[in-house]
Amino acid sequence: MMRSPELEKMPRAELEKLQIERLQEKVKDVYEKVPFYRRAFKEKEVTPDDIQTPADLKKLPFTIKLDFRDNYPYGLLAVPPEEIVRIHSSSGTTGKPIIAPYTQGDVDTWAEIMARTLATSGVTREDVLQNAYGYGLFTGGLGFHYGAELLGASVVPTSGGNTKRQILLIQDLGATVITCTPSYALILAETALDMGVDLRETRLRLGVLGAEPWSEQMRQDIEERLGIIAINIYGLTEIIGPGVSVECPHKCGMHIAEDHFLVELIDPQTEEPVPYGQEGELVITTLTKEAQPVIRFRTRDIVSLNPEPCECGRTMTRMSRVTGRSDDMLIVRGVNVFPSQIESVLLEVEGVEPHYLIVVDRKHAFKSDELEVWVEVSEDVFSDEMQKMEALEKKLRSEMDSVLGISARIKLVEPKTIARTEGKAKRVVDRSEL
């Protein structure tokens, strides 16, 4: 099993030396092999020779989601097509999907990164890991699968869905680790209860959850309902899939695999660098990807960075949980709000289930005078008298108002009426979709 743990605790100076060497090589690579990058470099009047120190990174052009669409499907390849052994994909925001091709080298590197990632989160070769991320084009299923096998854990590749069978397998095979989206973890808990199973009484002890935004309150809820430690993991198709960063059991930020991914934080409007501790948009450059290296990819994910070494001894920069995306921001009467903030407020209030929908008018590009939030109430509140429902609604409205500074129309709905998804939950919907 290769895990390169020594890299994770490397002195910063040494790490930066490794990064610049790898960066120089990659920049040369894309300049020579990918016409899209050569053109973009020429426009910025920069050549690979201009990249001598980490600070030179900002001379390079950004890459955005649209560039993937414009070069669909193979326009960003840096290797001959016969080198490709696998292709994953995710839905783009509009039109064509995003394509992620891998060489054999990429598949091996990814497995190694994921083995290390899972080890960081607390998984060991003694664990039985039930992998409920979707297998297929989505990077979650196979990404976790290869990493967990390399680590030596016993993998149960359930993929998403068939929730009742998931519960049976957790019980019968003695799963100790569950890997899925946070929203699916809650569905598992809910379904288990319906089946008369208390997941807290199974051997489950750890969840490695990600692929969608979730709040600290959501973590507490999941930990309580499943009787596990819930660890946050981050990644994206354009860069590699899961494995870009992950929390250690200290749960104080996600350790970025900086020997493979060079990160920057920018102000999404001015594109200027943002200092440590402040929030900005995460920008990632791949240092080891062969098939489709990416230079300065604008993730749209809003995070903050912390360069201090962690209590666990790892020296790699940590990123906060994703507090929003620079493009899912809602503007309600001039106030910027992210769905994750709304979630935090909702889940603080007693009597509310962690299932909600934010209804907006997309035709005004998320600028809205009205914010409507549908919230599921818990069974006991719902079956209680009307007065209690009214009190709850009032409480939610005033909490939203005092915490976020915006007033929202709250619509309380019956338990289990908001559609459940097996993968990523859909939190924001257009009124016309209802």
| Nearest one of 385, 389, 384, 383 to 349, comparing CA atoms | 389
Identified binder of ligand DLL from the candidate list 30, 34, 186, 211, rule CB under 6 A: 211
How does strand 409-413 pair with strand 372-377? parallel
Stretch of 20-28, 226-234, 286-294, 358-366 contacting ligand DLL, by CB under 6 A? 226-234
Q: Which residues contact 325 (CB under 8 A, 6 or more apart)?
A: 213, 300, 301, 302, 338
Identified binder of ligand DLL from the candidate list 322, 332, 346, 406, rule CB under 6 A: 322
Interaction between residue 112 and ligand DLL (CB under 6 A):
no
Closest approach, Cβ 402 to ligand DLL, in A, equals 26
Interaction between residue 235 and ligand DLL (CB under 6 A):
yes
Long-range contacts made by residues 410-414, C-beta under 8 angstroms, separation at least 24? 410/372, 410/373, 410/375, 411/372, 411/373, 411/374, 411/375, 412/374, 412/375, 412/376, 412/377, 413/374, 413/375, 413/376, 413/377, 414/376, 414/377, 414/382
Identified binder of ligand DLL from the candidate list 84, 156, 222, 236, rule CB under 6 A: 236
Interaction between residue 23 and ligand DLL (CB under 6 A):
no
3-state class (DSSP) for residue 347: helix
Residues of the chain by 3-state class (helix, strand, coil), percent to 5: 35, 25, 40
Identified binder of ligand DLL from the candidate list 101, 140, 147, 351, rule CB under 6 A: 140
Q: Which residues contact 425 (CB under 8 A, 6 or more apart)?
A: 181, 183, 212
Interaction between residue 216 and ligand DLL (CB under 6 A):
no
Which residue, 211 or 316, has its beta carbon nearer to ligand DLL? 211
Identified binder of ligand DLL from the candidate list 108, 149, 212, 384, rule CB under 6 A: 212
Stretch of 34-42, 45-53, 232-240, 311-319 contacting ligand DLL, by CB under 6 A? 232-240
Which residue, 302 or 396, has its beta carbon nearer to ligand DLL? 302
Interaction between residue 188 and ligand DLL (CB under 6 A):
no
Fill in the amino acid letter for 62.
F
Identified binder of ligand DLL from the candidate list 139, 215, 304, 341, rule CB under 6 A: 139
Question: Could you list the residues that contact ligand DLL (CB under 6 A)?
Answer: 90, 133, 139-140, 210-213, 232-237, 241-242, 299, 301, 321-322, 325
